[in-house]
Amino acid sequence: MILKLLRGIYRPKDRQQLHQMVAFSKQCTVGYVRLVTITTDNLLQLNELRMGVGAEWTFLHDEKRTIQSDLDIQEYTDPEHNPMIPHTLVLQPGLRIFKIYNGYWYWGRPSTAELHLDLRGVTQKIRPDWKIDTPEMRERWNAGQRQRFWPYGKSLRQTLVRMTNAVDLYDKSE
């Protein structure tokens, strides 16, 4: 998952970064990566920001600034808007932090190329079939030991339900 903590609708830097993420979000979808953006905007502003940049991933609003307070990332240089300092977190499964970017300055925010490299690193760590071209992996495949290969013991139906973030009401094994 890529988690973006942003200042909000009134910041052109946030909008520019989100524009970059729109095209990248298509790559995230096929790479099984979820995107989530959280701002301190109200719900109306948040939806205007999301629709204005054409983003189709999850946006959440934190008007009470719980995240800002819990993470101690208040941008104290802007008392009028009281935003949080922008951060981008690349998260591994289990929501474990892989990398954190501090985006107070625009150039501190990750480019999509940097995020691509981070996601490659995460995927290498979590996918047992990352290096599929080894003789050992070929032997496992030929021996029918498929649990180390995608979809890792899940049925195609279970995998597709999970990919769409849906709930399969007819499958009680989920």
- Condensed to tens digits (0 to 9), the pLDDT of residues 145-174 reads 888 888 888 887 887 777 666 555 555 554
Cα–Cα distance, 170 to 174 (Å, whole number): 10
Position 172 scores a pLDDT of 55
Position 174 scores a pLDDT of 46
- Condensed to tens digits (0 to 9), the pLDDT of residues 73-118 reads 999 999 999 999 999 999 999 999 999 999 999 999 999 999 999 9
Q: Dihedral through CA 24, CA 43, CA 39, CA 111, nearest 10? A: 10
Q: Map out the domains of the chain with their CATH numbers.
A: 2-126 (3.40.30.10), 129-174 (no CATH)
SS3 content of the chain, % helix, strand, coil (to 5): 45, 15, 40
- Condensed to tens digits (0 to 9), the pLDDT of residues 24-42 reads 999 999 898 999 999 999 9
Q: What is the pTM of this model?
A: 0.85
Torsion sign, CA atoms 60, 61, 64, 70: positive
Encoded tokens for 59: 């946006």
